Chain A
Amino acid sequence: AQSVAQPEDQVNVAEGNPLTVKCTYSVSGNPYLFWYVQYPNRGLQFLLKYITGDNLVKGSYGFEAEFNKSQTSFHLKKPSALVSDSALYFCAVRDPLADKLIFGTGTRLQVFP
């Protein structure tokens, strides 16, 4: 069965430092992978996706993610964190047999001034 795991419930980082939010996946076939962000009292917003091609995917707000097939990972990264990046981040994988996305449990990112 398809699944994603976000091993960290929370990530704390100082403003200006690089950040990484981890995600690993388990899927049969080629993975379609996504990152979404949720700000307080808002719906999820799409950040970026990996379908095929370059392993480094660039997305909104300066975020990028690196697809690593051998490690079955799709970690979200940003070179320099902003306080405004503080939010809940979800990794997701597409179910290859259906339209639906399978979401991870979410990681709360806290960026301190």
Chain B
Amino acid sequence: AQTVTQSQPEMSVQEAETVTLSCTYDTSENNYYLFWYKQPPSRQMILVIRQEAYKQQNATENRFSVNFQKAAKSFSLKISDSQLGDTAMYFCAFLGNAGNMLTFGGGTRLMVKP
């Protein structure tokens, strides 16, 4: 079974600065997919970014980018130029190639301060 660990329960960052959220996972699979989801106070789960394990290039989506280290089983999320609207819970999630159930980490609560 896969496990996903987010070691930072809470983080804060000043508006306009950069913050990195950590995620590690454990799997015996070689092909898999990793995701970051954002859950603002509205409770909606919003996809932030996804990474295919077979791709060496790190995924980027505007101000969001990942540092995917397959050998280390690490998948961190970097948010550049943080905005107040980035305040949310962030969940790292793993999806195996054979299955279709997401395994989530425990989440990191991010507060962006003005």
Decide whether A and B are members of one complex.
no
Interface positions of A (Cβ within 8 A of B): none
